[in-house]
Amino acid sequence: MQFTVRQRFFFDAAHTLEREIEVEGSRRIHGHTYYAEIAVSGPRHPDSGMVIDLGHLRLRLAALRERLDHHLLDEVPGLGTPTLENLCLFIARSLQDLQPPLSQVRVWRDSVGDGCALDL
């Protein structure tokens, strides 16, 4: 049997963006509350009954949140252009050593209804 375990976190961050539409507002520094969710899929371990220890996962996500929360995303090393797609990829790369590995990363902004999912 395969189970999927999910854990969410949020962060507040600012960024700028070069775009062809909504040019002026995107180029100015502005911020959002971002929500992120990671999923890990696999069988449950016969001894623990867990796919992954959620306490361990929460610690990893707290460390990742520290790298993003209340930062200017344009300046976060390894992120690149601060798009939803690049945030998904950044989170996936930051957690690439998890066992079992990630099966999905989602990032969204409730305030404007935007979201992105990276299926791994």
Half-sphere exposure of 100 (CA within 13 A, CB side): 19
Q: Does 60 score more than 70 pLDDT?
A: yes
Fold observed for domain 3-119:
Tetrahydropterin Synthase; Chain A (3.30.479)
Instruction: Concatenate the DSSP letters of all residues of 13-56 into one string.
Output: EEE----SSSHHHHHS-EEEEEEEEEEEEEPPPTTT--SS-HHH
For the chain, give every domain's residue range: 3-119
Q: Does 7 score more than 70 pLDDT?
A: yes
Nearest to 52 by CA among 15, 2, 88: 2
Q: How many percent of the chain have pLDDT more than 90?
A: 85
What are the pLDDT digits (tens) for 62-92? Answer: 999 999 999 999 999 999 999 999 999 999 9
Question: 101 by DSSP, 3-state: which?
Answer: coil
Q: Whole-angstrom Cα distance, residue 101 to residue 65?
A: 19
